[in-house]
Chain A
Amino acid sequence: MSKFQQLRLEGVTRRFGGQDALVDLDLTIERGEFIALLGPSGCGKSTALNCLAGLLPLTAGRIWQDDTRLDTLLPEKRGFGMVFQNYALFPHLTVWKNIAFGLQMRRLPGAEIRRRTDEAIALVHLEEQARKLPGQLSGGQQQRVAIARAVVLEPSLVLMDEPLSNLDAKLRLEMRTEIRRLHQALGLTTVYVTHDQEEALSMADRLVVLRGGRVQQIGTPEQLHTQPANRHVADFMGFRNLLPMKVVTTGVSTVVEGGGLTLQGTPVGDVHPGDEVVAGVRPESLRIAEDGFPATVEVVEYQGREVAVEAVTDAGQRLHLRAADRPAPGDKVRLAVDPAALLLFPAGGAH
């Protein structure tokens, strides 16, 4: 199948009866990249994927594959592979025939269809199940059939719509590695939709965070993890403590106060004294220290190497943190946070 150098989405927009599902998505996908579209349900990530696949027409915008305009083509003419959330395996066809289906549609010679189908089956380790119907397979096996069916055509782009969300936790981890391995082995360009930030961070080369149909941030996992662009991305990236505060001073160090606390932080974007901000900090950046502010432990959850603690400040602000030793509920502790780990986002946030 034709390999492209670049896939460009220009102002891709989709409205459903006046409701904006996706607004002005600009994205350039380089060949071989693994892109994750990340966001809560209803953020437009599946809409974006369906627009790419051609299953939904665009309301506005264009999609280019190098110099070819794609958004006017029917899905069957785009040559993309797609893995659906519910797998969408053809229930009346055996595993082998499911995987061979796309090759048969291309009217390839019989010998080539047999060879490539057998190879794809070997790739996902389903030799034993080749003659079975999808209904006789476990969820993980069905998932592998769906992936093999999409990649057997050597598509220029593979689209995956929350492919792991129907699997149990252990299998999800295994399949995550499996998909990443396939991606590397076959050099497939992949667009992967998920609502699981951990999944997106661990698999993707670049992430696109969406909210309410609008792009919040595009960047590498490291960029998103350490420098979230706004409070919504931060919320999604594991900043569980988001405190409404007010800026006191700016300059060498930015000081904020609110809820009985006065803290030093790092502003993201422009902040001025008197501005309302949201101060975000990860549970793992909040430490128990002698020189900190007082709080009372309320809930302690055992999580293996450490414990997750929920504490309440004297002014009633709930905070999440990690602790190595195990405090008891009711304990008085003192908490501190590094100025670099406390990010200050303008309270309005980007849209």
Chain B
Amino acid sequence: MAAVTETRVALRHRLAERGIDRQLLLLGPALLFVVTLFVYPFFYGIGLSFQPEQGGPFGAYRSFFADAYERGTLTTTLWLSLPVALLNVGASVPIAYRMRGRFRGKRLLTTVLVVPITLGTVLTAQGLLNFLGPTGWFNRTLMSLHVIDEPVRLTHNYWGVFFSLVITGFPFAFLLVLSYLSGIDPTLEKAAATLGAGWAQRFRRITLPLLAPGLATTFCLTFVLAFSVFPSAVLVGDPAGETRVISIAAWHAGYEQYDYPKASAIAVVMGLVELVVIAAVLGWRSLLYTGSTGGKG
């Protein structure tokens, strides 16, 4: 028995020396799951997109790009998701920067900022309709204060979707930025202060460069989240016009026209556009310093 145990230990050590950890085999079932439920349908969809009923292998793509109404969904979606991602990241930075220290009520404030994550898009949409709609509190207050004479249209158009994406996307961005910021050693700023740097210089020369790689990652995540917008574009947007985003086009092709190859082609285009944006951002990120930031992050 002892001999058997010995050889077992020895085998594990021999494998470990070659960088093999047999316990990773336990990942097998999960891997199988991912392959059957994600990788296979993914490649099946790509294959499907090259098999339209007419127009050769690229027919579905050609018909998407030939039709201005379809093609326009790309710019519509980018025009929504890029500003939203920028705003979410941009607004997170000053708020997280103020909140990186310890202060009374920090936990409460963080909770309030993060709660929208738990709401879900439908609840957010309903809240937006009640609040920003033509007879919502926002418009009624402004009208009773005589700031405006007619209700401002903030729902069922671009702005409705925009606000909805900010409400659901900001908490993600904020949490990520906060954790990146708390990974930066606070004594670095103290050191910069003793070297004569005012707060603006400290932020621009020390904190921001160390935070930038984290901001790039955060931007990518919130961008992808906003780019694949669907429910709020329908519920608080104008799904036939101003906010006809690309996922609506794909859904339309797939489940109203039953043109699966075209729906797949739109999905592939969607994925490629996301990849291009992410590649651009990460390419820029790779030019930055990405090592240790001194803190415990």
Q: State whether the Cβ of A351 lies closer than 8 Å to any Cβ in chain B.
A: no
From B24-32, B146-154, B171-179, B184-192, give the one contacting chain A.
B184-192
Task: Tell me which residues across on chain B come within 8 A of A86, comparing CB atoms.
Answer: 185, 187, 294
Asked if B194 contacts A90 (CB within 8 A), the reply is: no
A76 with B289: CB separation less than 8 A: no
Shortest C-beta distance, B183 to chain A (Å), equals 11
- Give A133 Cβ to nearest chain B Cβ, in Å: 7
> In whole angstroms, how far apart are the Cα atoms of A82 and B190 in the complex?
9
Counting CB contacts under 8 A, is A4 at the interface? no
* Cβ of B293 under 8 Å from chain A: yes
Closest residue of B by beta carbon distance from A78: B194
A293 at the A/B interface (Cβ < 8 Å)? Answer: no
Q: Does A236 contact B (CB under 8 A)?
A: no
B210 touches A75 (CB 8 A): no
Establish whether residues A55 and B193, one from each chain, have CB atoms under 8 Å apart when the complex forms.
Answer: yes
How far is the CB of A82 from the nearest CB of chain B, in Å?
Answer: 4
User: Is A147 interfacial (CB-CB < 8 Å)?
Assistant: no
- Kindly state whether residue A289 has any CB partner on chain B within 8 Å: no
C-alpha spacing A86/B192, complex, angstroms:
14
0/1 per residue, A11-23, Cβ < 8 Å to B?
A: 0000000000000
Nearest-neighbor residue (CB-CB) of A159 within chain B = B194
Contacts of B187 in A (CB 8 A): 84, 86, 88
Please tell me if the beta carbons of A81 and B194 are within 8 angstroms of each other in the complex: yes
Given contacts A84-B190, A91-B289, A91-B293, contact A105 B195 (CB under 8 A): yes
Cβ-closest chain B residue relative to A56 = B190
- Are the CB atoms of A75 and B194 closer together than 8 Å? yes
**Are A135 and B193 in contact, with the CB atoms below 8 A?**
no
CA distance A81 to B195 in the complex (A): 7
Nearest Cβ on chain A to B189's Cβ, whole angstroms: 9
- A74 at interface, CB cutoff 8 A: yes
Q: B201's closest neighbor in chain A, by CB?
A: A105
Residues of chain A from 72 to 110 with CB closer than 8 A to chain B in the complex: 74-76, 78-82, 84, 86, 88-92, 101-102, 105-106
> How would residues 57 to 80 of chain B score, 1 for a CB under 8 Å from any chain A CB and 0 otherwise?
000000000000000000000000
| Nearest neighbor of B184 in chain A, beta-carbon distance | A91
Q: How far is the CB of B105 from chain A (nearest CB, A)?
A: 15
Per the 8 Å Cβ criterion, residues 148-170 of A in contact with B are: 149-150, 153, 159
Indicate if the CB atoms of A153 and B193 lie closer than 8 Å: no
Task: State A240–B110 Cα separation when bound (angstroms).
Answer: 51
List, in ascending order, chain A residues with CB within 8 A of B196's CB.
76, 79, 102, 105-106, 153
Cα A53 to Cα B294 with chains together (Å): 21
Contact with A along B1-37 (1 / 0, CB 8 A): 0000000000000000000000000000000000000
Tell me whether B192 and A101 are in contact (CB under 8 A): yes
CB distance from B293 to the nearest CB of A (A): 6
List B201-240 residues whose CB lies under 8 Å from chain A.
201, 205-206, 209-210
Contact B289 A92, beta carbon cutoff 8 Å? yes
Tell whether, in the assembled complex, residue A55 and residue B209 are in contact, meaning their CB atoms are under 8 Å apart: no
Let me know if B198 is at the binding interface, CB within 8 A.
yes
Complex-state Cα separation, A135 to B201, whole angstroms? 23
CB neighbours (8 Å) of B210 from chain A are 91-92
* B292 interface residue (CB < 8 Å to A): yes
Q: Tell me the minimal C-beta distance from A77 to chain B in angstroms.
A: 8
Residues from chain A with Cβ under 8 Å of B191 in the complex = 82, 84, 88-90, 149
Say how far B291's CB is from chain A's closest CB, in angstroms.
6
Q: Which residues of A contact B198 (CB under 8 A)?
A: 74, 76
Q: Closest CB of chain B to A71's CB: distance in Å?
A: 15
Alpha-carbon separation in the docked complex, A258 to B197 (Å): 60
Closest to B190 in A: A55
Give Cα A283 to B244, complex, Å.
87
Within the complex, the shortest CB–CB distance from A65 to chain B, in Å, comes to 15
B188 to chain A, nearest CB (A): 5
Are B190 and A75 in contact, with the CB atoms below 8 A? yes
* Cα(A245)–Cα(B176), bound, Å: 62
Contact A105/B188 with A91-B289, A92-B209, A92-B210 known, Cβ cut-off 8 Å: no
Q: Nearest CB to that of B206 among chain A residues?
A: A90
Among A54, A90, A149, the most chain B Cβ lie within 10 Å of the Cβ of: A90
- Closest chain B CB from A64 CB (angstroms): 19
On whether A135 and B291 interact (CB within 8 A), knowing A101-B195, A105-B197, A153-B196, the answer reads: yes
List chain B residues, Cβ under 8 A from A80.
Answer: 194
Report B-chain residues with C-beta under 8 Å of the C-beta of A105.
Answer: 195-197, 201
A75: B residues at CB distance < 8 A:
190, 193-194
- Give, as a whole number of angstroms, the nearest-CB distance from B12 to chain A: 34
Which residues of chain A have C-beta atoms less than 8 A from B289's C-beta? 91-92, 133
Q: Are A90 and B292 neighbours in the complex by a CB distance under 8 Å? A: no
- List the A side residues contacting B288 at CB < 8 Å: 92
- Which residues of chain B come closer than 8 Å to A101, judged between CB atoms? 192, 195, 197, 205
Which residues of B lie under 8 Å from residue A90 when comparing CB positions?
A: 188, 191-192, 206
Query: How long is the Cα–Cα vector from A106 to B187 in the complex, in angstroms?
Result: 20
- Alpha-carbon distance between A74 and B194 when the two chains are bound, in angstroms: 9
5 tightest CB-CB pairs across the interface, nearest first? A92-B289, A102-B195, A88-B191, A105-B196, A82-B194
Given contacts A92-B289, A149-B191, 10 further A-B contacts (CB under 8 A): A75-B193, A76-B196, A80-B194, A82-B191, A86-B185, A86-B294, A88-B188, A90-B191, A90-B192, A101-B192
A-B contact pairs, 18 of them (CB 8 A): A53-B190, A54-B194, A75-B193, A76-B197, A78-B194, A81-B195, A82-B190, A86-B187, A88-B185, A101-B197, A102-B196, A105-B201, A106-B196, A133-B289, A150-B194, A153-B195, A153-B196, A159-B194
Residues in chain A within 8 A of chain B (CB atoms): 53-55, 74-76, 78-82, 84, 86, 88-92, 101-102, 105-106, 133, 135, 149-150, 153, 159
